[in-house]
Amino acid sequence: MSITTSTAKTAPPPAADAGVAWTGSGRANQILVLTARSLRALVLEPRVLLTSMLTPLLMLVVFSQIFVSVAATPGFPAGVAYIDYLLPAIMVNTAMQSALQTGIALTHEMRDGIITRLRSLPVWPGSILIGRSLAELVRGAIRLTFLLAFALLLFGFRPSGGPVGVLTAMALALVVGGGLGWVFIALACWMRHIELVQNLSGMVTLVLMFGSNAFVPIGSLPGWLQVIATLNPMSYGIAAARDLTLGHPATGGAALALGASLTVATLAAAIAVRGFQRPA
């Protein structure tokens, strides 16, 4: 008996087009993946998150004691406890400080070569910056939650706006602080030197914070500082967050604060992407 062997051959799988290069995923997916990457760093190094929570707490403790006598001055809002006046300013500043950390982290990654590896991939440069910024917003939300719990338990923070007003003010602080924080991201993308970025960011933070209505009403400031505070977009964010926590109408103030911070964010983001694309 003879066995007939089939000579038919199985057709090979279709080959991929050699001339088609992989162009990467969409920008939305890139941002999602890069945001998750930055958040994993917080999980893997929780000490960084824990220590970053101490800064707003120390600010609340120190400034609430140093400036508490401001509540007795003629220009201070009547019937408002100083802790209720101060905390919205600390909230906005805390959100902005989280964005400052974005700039410092970027300079570290540029120095260590991580950014160079990411830029060798088909990734939109803006995705790297936005992903890092969104991750810091998450950290900012955690810091603000811890700050509010601390103020409620130990400082008697009981604003008339109630939980809705406080949570809305928290969301506003994150948007305003995150928007203004793009200034620090732009500095990092252009300076690319850790010490220089830290020094410049510190100076910008001092101007934005102390040249505002954070600690005293604008009318109580010297004339030249009143001009700076009036032009300072952080003043509008603090005023809107303060109105929300105190239960005052804040629709117009919130719209002005959001418009100012988003304008700053748009301009700074464009500058940041331009600087980020420069050769190392």
The single residue listed with the structure tokens 């050699």 is 18
The single residue listed with the structure tokens 């700074």 is 268
Instruction: Judge residue 220's burial from the number of C-beta atoms within 10 Å of its C-beta, 0-12 exposed, 13-18 middle, 19 or more buried.
Output: middle
Q: Decide if 39 contacts 132 (C-beta within 8 A).
A: no
Domain residue limits, the chain: 27-276
**Region 170-188 average pLDDT:** 88
Q: Decide if 216 contacts 209 (C-beta within 8 A).
A: no
Angle at 59 between CA 132 and CA 54, to 5 degrees: 55
Determine the residue type at 94.
T
CA 128 to CA 252: how far, in whole Å? 33
CA 121 to CA 246: how far, in whole Å? 49
Residue among 143, 111, 152, 136 at smallest CA distance from 38: 136
Q: Decide if 272 contacts 129 (C-beta within 8 A).
A: yes
Residue among 134, 136, 66 at smallest CA distance from 94: 136
Mean per-residue pLDDT over the chain, rounded: 84
Q: What is the DSSP letter of 280?
A: -
CA 228 to CA 247: how far, in whole Å? 27
Which of the four pLDDT bands, split at 50, 70 and 90, describes residue 7? very low
pLDDT tops 50 at residue 9: no
Angle at 95 between CA 90 and CA 96, to 5 degrees: 95
Over the stretch 92-121, which tens digit does the pLDDT of each residue have? 988 888 777 888 888 888 887 788 888 778
Over the stretch 68-90, which tens digit does the pLDDT of each residue have? 888 888 888 888 889 999 999 99
pLDDT tops 80 at residue 6: no
| pLDDT for the residue numbered 24 | 59
Q: Decide if 247 contacts 165 (C-beta within 8 A).
A: yes
